[in-house]
């Protein structure tokens, strides 16, 4: 059973460009989460999605960031007009159910560098 897949693994963008990060959950998992690991700030929750629904985006910056998990295809985290402060590692996780002691399985991450 393949794990959570993320691509690209590394992404370099210039200020003002768009970044698209993709995440394919583990087979059978319908719950997807995005976390961001900023230098000196640690890992923080961004958004929780189920198929075609955003359940909780309380950790997402209000502007420039959006996420989706369509009926078909991977989940996408989109960052418009990137700034240097967006440079971070972005991790996707998935699970079969949400909450409690349900394990979230993490992908290898996408490391975004904004020049």
Partner 1 sequence: AQSVTQLGSHVSVSEGALVLLRCNYSSSVPPYLFWYVQYPNQGLQLLLKYTSAATLVKGINGFEAEFKKSETSFHLTKPSAHMSDAAEYFCAVMNDYKLSFGAGTTVTVRA
Give residues in contact with partner 1 (CB under 8 A). 4, 6, 31, 33, 35, 42-45, 48, 55-56, 59, 91, 93, 98-109, 111
Q: Helix/strand/coil (H, E, C) string of 55-101?
A: EECCCCCCCCEEEECCCCCCEEEEECCCCHHHCEEEEEEEECCCCCC
In the complex, the smallest distance separating the C-beta of residue 18 from partner 1, rounded to whole angstroms, is: 24
How many CA atoms are closer than 13 Å to the CA of 113, on its beta-carbon side? 5
CB 115 within 8 A of CB 17: no
For partner 1, which is the closer residue by CB, 41 or 63? 41
The pair of three-digit structure tokens given for residue 7, joined into one six-digit string? 């691509």
In the complex, the smallest distance separating the C-beta of residue 82 from partner 1, rounded to whole angstroms, is: 21
For partner 1, which is the closer residue by CB, 23 or 79? 23
For partner 1, which is the closer residue by CB, 52 or 102? 102
In the complex, the smallest distance separating the C-beta of residue 81 from partner 1, rounded to whole angstroms, is: 27
For partner 1, which is the closer residue by CB, 28 or 42? 42
Q: How far apart are CA 45 and CA 72, in angstroms?
A: 24
């Amino acid at each position: 059973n393949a794990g959570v897949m993320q691509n690209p693994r590394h992404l370099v963008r210039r200020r003002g460009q768009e970044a698209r990060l993709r995440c394919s959950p583990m087979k059978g998992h319908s719950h997807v989460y995005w976390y961001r690991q900023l230098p000196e700030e640690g890992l923080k929750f961004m958004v929780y999605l189920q198929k075609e629904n955003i359940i909780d985006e309380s950790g997402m910056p209000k502007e420039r960031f959006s996420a989706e998990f369509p009926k078909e295809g991977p989940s996408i985290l989109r960052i418009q007009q990137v700034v240097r402060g967006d440079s971070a590692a972005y991790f996707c996780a998935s699970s079969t159910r949400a909450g409690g002691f349900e394990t979230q399985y993490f992908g290898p991450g996408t490391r975004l560098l904004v020049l």
